[in-house]
C-alpha cells in the first residue's frame, strides 16, 4: 500500500513538473512573440500618420461629413454617394486636410456604374500629401489593411481602424456593377469615401458601406475601378 501511494505521489509530482515545464515553454513562446511584435508595432503609428496625411474630411453643412483621399495636387477621390450629397451644397462644402487647411470645391464628377466620385479643389494640396495607388487586382484575402476616415463628426477627424481583407471579387449590386472587396471590421458613418491602405501605404480602395447584420463587414470599391472610371488610368 505504501509502495502504491509512493508511486502515485511520484506520478503526481511528475505531472506537476510536466505542466510547469509546458507553461514555461509556452511563456517563452509568448515572450518571443511579444518581443517580435514590439519590434513591429512602432512602425504602424508611423505608417498611419503618413496615411492620415493623404486623407481628407469632406464637410457637408447641415448634412454630415464624409471622407476622401488626395490623389493629385488638385484632386480628391471619394464615394459616389458623397458626391451625390455635395451637388446640393457645393458652394458651402469644405475639404479639410490633415494640416488643417481648408479647400473649396471647384468641380465634381461621379462614376455612372459604381459608388465612387472625384472632387477638384481650388487651392492645391502639397505634393507630399498625394497617396500612392495600389493594383487592387493583387489584393488577397487575409491581407492586413488600414482604413482612415472621419466617423460621425469632425472632431473624430482621421480615425484609423485596422483589419484584414475578408473577401475579394464580391458582387455588391447595391453599390455598383463591379466586383467589390470586403473587410472584417466596420467603418462607421462618416468613413464613406475614406481610403483603405495596404501595409505598403498604398490605397487599395475606398469605403462605401457596411454590412453590420453580417458580422460588421466593410465594403470597399477597389481602386482599379476608380482608376478606370475617373482617373484615366486604365487597368488590365
Are 176 and 120 in a shared domain? Answer: no
Are 105 and 68 in a shared domain? Answer: yes
Domain that holds residue 59: 48-129
**CATH code of residue 71:** 2.40.10.10
pLDDT given at position 83:
95
Q: Which of 106, 129, 152 is the last residue of a domain?
A: 129
Q: Identify which of 192, 184, 185 has the alpha carbon closest to the alpha carbon of residue 152.
A: 192
Residue 35, C-alpha cell as written in the block:
518581443
> In the 3-class helix/strand/coil scheme, how is 56-114 assigned residue by residue?
EEEEECCCEEEEEEEEECCEEEECHHHHHHHCCCCCCCEEECCCCCEEEEEEEEECCCE
pLDDT given at position 130:
97
Map grid coordinates 458582387 to a residue. 171
Are 147 and 122 in a shared domain? Answer: no
Residue ranges of the chain whose pLDDT lies below 70 = 1-42, 171-178, 212-215, 233-236
Are 116 and 146 in a shared domain? Answer: no
pLDDT given at position 121:
97
Residue 182, C-alpha cell as written in the block:
470586403
pTM as predicted: 0.77
- Domain count across the chain: 2
pLDDT given at position 186:
75
Q: Which of 102, 129, 156 is the last residue of a domain?
A: 129
d(CA 51, CA 67): 13
Are 137 and 75 in a shared domain? Answer: no
Map grid coordinates 454617394 to a residue. 81
| Half-sphere exposure at residue 96, Cβ-oriented, CA atoms within 13 angstroms | 17
**Residues 6 or more apart whose Cβ sits within 8 Å of residue 88:** none
Amino acid at each position: 500500500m505504501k509502495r502504491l501511494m509512493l508511486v502515485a505521489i511520484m506520478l503526481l509530482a511528475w505531472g506537476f513538473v510536466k505542466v510547469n515545464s509546458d507553461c514555461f515553454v509556452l511563456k517563452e513562446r509568448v515572450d518571443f512573440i511579444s518581443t517580435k511584435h514590439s519590434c513591429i508595432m512602432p512602425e504602424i503609428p508611423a505608417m498611419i500618420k503618413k496615411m492620415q496625411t493623404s486623407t481628407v474630411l469632406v464637410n457637408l453643412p447641415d448634412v454630415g461629413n464624409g471622407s476622401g483621399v488626395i490623389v493629385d495636387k488638385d484632386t480628391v477621390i471619394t464615394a459616389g454617394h458623397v458626391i451625390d450629397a455635395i451637388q446640393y451644397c457645393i458652394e458651402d462644402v469644405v475639404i479639410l486636410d490633415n494640416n488643417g487647411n481648408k479647400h473649396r470645391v471647384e468641380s465634381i464628377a461621379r462614376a455612372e456604374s459604381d459608388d465612387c466620385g472625384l472632387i477638384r479643389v481650388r487651392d492645391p494640396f502639397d505634393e507630399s500629401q498625394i497617396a500612392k495607388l495600389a493594383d487592387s487586382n493583387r489584393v488577397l484575402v487575409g491581407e492586413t489593411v488600414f482604413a482612415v476616415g472621419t466617423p460621425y463628426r469632425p472632431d473624430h477627424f482621421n480615425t484609423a481602424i485596422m483589419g484584414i481583407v475578408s473577401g475579394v471579387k464580391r458582387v455588391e449590386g447595391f453599390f455598383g456593377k463591379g466586383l467589390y472587396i470586403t473587410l472584417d471590421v466596420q467603418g462607421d458613418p462618416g468613413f464613406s469615401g475614406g481610403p483603405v491602405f495596404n501595409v505598403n501605404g498604398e490605397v487599395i480602395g475606398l469605403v462605401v458601406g457596411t454590412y453590420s447584420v453580417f458580422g460588421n463587414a466593410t465594403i470597399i470599391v477597389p481602386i482599379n475601378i476608380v482608376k478606370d472610371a475617373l482617373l484615366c488610368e486604365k487597368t488590365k
